[in-house]
Amino acid sequence: MRDLSALIPYSIFILLFFSCSTRDKQAVSIIEKSIQAHGGEKAWEDIESISLVRDIWMFDENGDTESYVRQENDFRLKPFFEGKMNWVKDSIPHRVHFDGVSTQYHMGENEIQNEGFLQNKKRDLDAAFYVLTKPFDLLDKEKYLEYIGREELPGGVPVETVKVIDGDPADPAVDIWWYYFDPKSFEILAYKVKTSDHFSLVYNQGWDRTTGLLLPARRESYRVDEEGKHLYQRAIYGYGMYQVKR
C-alpha cells in the first residue's frame, strides 16, 4: 500500500496557497483602513439593531421618474438577523418582514403567499441591509479579495480599487464587485457591480455621522457599460433618521 504521509505536507501547502491567494494582502490592508475610517470594527459589532428612513427615486432610460417611495427600514442583528420594510404606495400600506426563518408580505390587509414574490422581497430587504454593512463585512473569510490598483472614477476622481467576489469566482452567475476607496481617507467613494444582465456604478454622495459610524446619507446609481461609462441614471437613495441600539 502506498505511503500517503509524504503527501500530507504538500496537501497542506496547496490548501494554504489557494486560501491565501483569495485574500490579497494589499486589498485586506485597504479594507482594514476603511473599516477604521467608517467607525471601527468594534463599533459595528456592538450594534444590536439599526433603523432608518429611506427615500428611493427610480428612473427609466429616458430620465423619467418611474417611482418614488419612502420606506421605514428596521434590522435586528442580534441574537439573529431580522428585517422589516414598511411603506405606503397609492394609499395602501406594504409590509415585508423576515423573522429569521421565513418572509411575510402584506399589502393592506392581504397577505401575499406567492413563493417567487416572497423571494424577490427578501432580496430587496437583503439589498437594503447590504449597503449598511459596508465596509464592515468585506473581510468575511469566504470573500475573494483582489487589489486592482490606483484608478480614476468618471470625472477624474482618484481611487484605490479592490475587487470582491462573494462566492466562486469561476461561477458566471456570481456577482462581481469593485469597491473604490478614497486614497487618503479610505472612505468608500463608490462601487461597481456586475450582475447577470448589467453593470451598475453607485456613488456615495454623503455620510450620516450621528451614530458614531459612517452610514449612507445619499447614494446615486447609474447603469454603466463594462468600462464604467454612464448609460443613464437609475436611482437616487436618501437615508436619514438613523437609530442605533447597542
| Residue in the structure block whose three cell numbers are 485574500 | 23
Is pLDDT of 197 > 50?
yes
Closest by CA to 218, choosing from 228, 208, 230, 229, is 208
Q: What is the pLDDT of residues 37-81, one digit of tens each?
A: 999 999 999 999 999 999 999 999 999 999 999 999 999 999 999
Name the burial class of residue 53, with classes exposed (0-12), middle (13-18) and buried (19+) by CB atoms within 10 angstroms of its CB: middle
- Which grid cell is 118? 416572497
Round to whole Å and give the CA distance between 178 and 162.
Answer: 6
Whether the CB-CB separation of 158 and 183 falls below 8 Å is answered with yes
Q: pTM of the prediction?
A: 0.87
Cis peptide before 172 (omega within 30 of 0): no
Cis peptide before 135 (omega within 30 of 0): yes
Round to whole Å and give the CA distance between 142 and 160.
Answer: 22
Q: What is the pLDDT of residues 102-157, one digit of tens each?
A: 999 999 999 999 999 999 999 999 999 999 999 999 998 889 999 999 999 998 99
What are the CA-CA distances from residue 24 to residues 59, 148, 162, 167, 241 (Å)?
A: 37, 10, 9, 16, 37
User: Which DSSP string corresponds to 53-73?
Assistant: EEEEEEE-TTS-EEEEEEEEE
